[in-house]
Amino acid sequence: MNSYKILFLDIDGTIIRPDNTIEDSTKKAVSQVQQIGIEAVLATGRPIHEIADIARSLNIDSFIGYNGAYAVYRGIDLFKKPMSRESVEYFLKTAKQHKHELVMYSSTKNHLTAMDTPSMEAFKQKFHLYQNERYTSSVLDEILGMTIIASSENDASLYNTGKDVYLSQVNMEGFHHCFDVIRDNVNKGTGVHALLQKLNIPREAAIAFGDGMNDKEMLAAVGESYAMGNSTPELFSYAKNKTTDVTNSGVYNGLRSLGLLD
């Protein structure tokens, strides 16, 4: 008898391939576990308002977005945790000082410090961001998460994040100069824990797949965790298991190893 109740899936590099498609094996795997009663949840750094097409393609209606700042279960909001205005102001000031760009996310919009620079256009295209507007201070208290578009992959050191925040490099080819801002007390792991508590599901009955360092807390919060073969190398120590690449049936092979697939 299946003892697993819930499956958490990162998006980019886990179910979405570099060409922005989802493997048929991944769709098949998600569908089969849903048929045996396992709830599938997308757990992502992306804003929830921009992942509707992905969710529809996998028949998923529960989400942990913005790296754990906002959770929705079957259409019902569970929690929403904006960043402090002091933290947002710090990143705005530091990004401006180093001529970096910020993509900030509220629950309904993407708020950009630049609208049409080449680097911003590339980011919007890659991550399918459409609900965009220029940032203004009127949304200062509504920011759930943010991504820094820096100049090089070494630029994380320019930010003095302190003990409560860290920068997670975006694990996508061509975007290693971009960094998600992650809070210690608001991340995918805290989001997973809150959802498990809400549904009264023990961590041993939860499965998670991820590929980037913003997934490390999520992988530690569940009973069965899988790092994709294409993961940031530092992530492997946080996962119980390693599966194949996102381009080589990684999710399917991981779920099959648990005896959940035909």
Residue 178, pLDDT score: 97
Same domain, 91 and 179: yes
CATH number at residue 241: 3.40.50.1000
Same domain, 76 and 200: yes
Residue 163, pLDDT score: 76
Same domain, 93 and 175: yes
Q: Return mean pLDDT, the chain.
A: 95
Element holding 92 (H helix, E strand): helix 85-97
**Range 58-69 average pLDDT:** 96
Structural domain count, the chain: 2
> Can you tell me the distance from the alpha carbon of 240 to that of 221, in angstroms, rounded to the nearest whole number?
11
Same domain, 66 and 93: no
Q: Of 189, 186, 232, nearest to 208 (Cα)?
A: 189
Q: Print the domain residue range for 232.
A: 6-80+186-257
**262 domain residue, yes or no:** no
Q: Partners of 167 in the beta sheet? A: 181
Cα dihedral sign for 5, 11, 16, 20?
positive
Residue 2, pLDDT score: 74
pLDDT digits (tens, 9 = 90+) for 37-58: 999 999 999 999 999 999 999 9
**163 domain residue, yes or no:** yes
CATH number at residue 102: 3.30.1240.10
pLDDT digits (tens, 9 = 90+) for 207-247: 999 999 999 999 999 999 999 999 999 999 999 999 999 99
CA atoms within 13 A on the CB side of 36: 17
**Range 101-125 average pLDDT:** 97
**33 domain residue, yes or no:** yes
**Range 152-173 average pLDDT:** 91
What one-letter code names the amino acid at 103? V
pLDDT digits (tens, 9 = 90+) for 115-131: 999 999 999 999 999 99
Same domain, 130 and 216: no
Same domain, 250 and 217: yes
Which of 136, 152, 183 delimits the end of a domain?
Answer: 183
Q: How confident is the model at residue 177 (pLDDT cuts 50, 70, 90)?
A: very high
Residue 41, pLDDT score: 98
Same domain, 64 and 106: no
Q: How confident is the model at residue 1 (pLDDT cuts 50, 70, 90)?
A: low
Residue 160, pLDDT score: 86
Which of 162, 183, 204 delimits the end of a domain?
Answer: 183
**1 domain residue, yes or no:** no
